[in-house]
Chains A and B, each alone.
Chain A
Amino acid sequence: MKALLCATLALALGGLAPWGTALAADTVRVFTSYPQEMMDRYEQAFAKANPDIKLDFQWGHGGDAMATLRQPDQGGVDVLWSPALKAFPALAREGAFRPLGDGAKGIATKVGGMPLTDGKGTYAAFELAGYGFAVRPDYLAGHGLPVPRDWSDLARPAYAGHVILPVPSSTGFAPPMIEVILQHHGWDKGWALLAEIAANAELLDSGGGVAMVNELAEGTKGIGMIIDFFVRSAKADGKPVTFVYPEITAYVPAHVAITAKAPHAKAAEAFVRFVLSDQGQVLLMTPEVMRLPVRPSAYAKAPADFPRPFEGKAAAFVFDPAKGNARQFAMTALFDAFITSRHAQLRDTFALIRKAEAAGDKARAETARQLLTSVPVSEAECGNPTLNATLENMDFEGAKAVKAGWTKAAAAGTAQTLAVLAK
Chain B
Amino acid sequence: MRRLLLAAGLLLTAPAGAGEALSGGTFTVFEGGRAAFTTMAPALPESLQRDFAHGRTVFNRPWLAAPAQDERFIGLGPLFNRLSCVACHPRNGGGFAPATAAEPMRTMLVRLSVAGEGEHGGVRPHPAYGDQLNEEGIPGVPGEGRAVIRWRERREVLPGGEVVRLRRPQISFAGLAYGPMGRDTLISPRIAPPVFGLGLLAAVPEDDILDIAAENGGRPNRVWDAGNGRTVLGRFGWKANQPSVHQQLAGAMLGDIGITSPLFAGQNCTAAQAACRAAFPAPQPELTAGQLLALETYHLGLGVPARRGVDDPSVRRGEAVFVVAGCASCHRPTLKTGPHPSLEELGGQVIHPYTDLLLHDMGPELADGRPDFLATGREWRTPPLWGLGLRRLVEPRAGLLHDGRARTPLEAILWHGGAGKDAAAAVRRLSRDDRRALLRFLDSL
Contact = CB atoms under 8 A, between A and B. Distances in A.
Interface of A: 1-2, 4-6, 8-13, 17-23, 35-37, 39-40, 43-44, 47, 51, 54, 56-61, 63-64, 67, 75-76, 206-207, 210-211, 214, 218-220, 234, 236-239, 287
Contact of A2 (B70, B87, B369): B369
A417 B171 CA distance: 74
Given A36-B86, A211-B53, A238-B32, A9 B148 contact: no
A60 B64 contact: yes
B2 A23 contact: no
Contacts of B377: 1-2
B70 A238 contact: no
A319 to B, nearest CB: 27
B180 A13 contact: yes
B103 A47 contact: yes
A59 B63 contact: yes
A60 B183 CA distance: 40
Contacts, number: 140
Given A36-B84, A214-B53, A219 B367 contact: no
Contacts of B104: 47, 54
A168 to B, nearest CB: 18
Residue with the highest number of chain B CB atoms closer than 10 Å, among A6, A17, A59, A67: A59
A349 B187 CA distance: 67
Interface residues of B, number: 58
A5 B2 contact: no
Interface string B358-390: 000000110111000000010000000000000
Summarize B's interface: helix, strand, loop or mixed.
loop
B90 A37 contact: yes
Contacts of A234: 35
Contacts of B150: 8, 18-19
Contact of A10 (B35, B90, B175, B183): B183
Nearest to A54: B104
A44 to B, nearest CB: 8
B139 A8 contact: no
B185 interface: yes
A61 B70 CA distance: 8
A154 to B, nearest CB: 22
Contact of B86 (A37, A44, A67): A37
Contacts of B186: 2
Interface stretch (B11-19, B54-62, B195-203, B429-437): B54-62
Interface in B31-63: 31-35, 40, 50, 53-54, 56-57, 60, 62-63
B342 interface: no
Q: Which 3 A-B pairs have the closest CB atoms?
A: A2-B369, A238-B33, A59-B62
Contact of B70 (A21, A64, A236): A64
B139 A51 contact: no
Given A9-B173, A12-B173, A12-B174, A76 B139 contact: yes
Given A40-B106, A59-B62, A22 B101 contact: yes
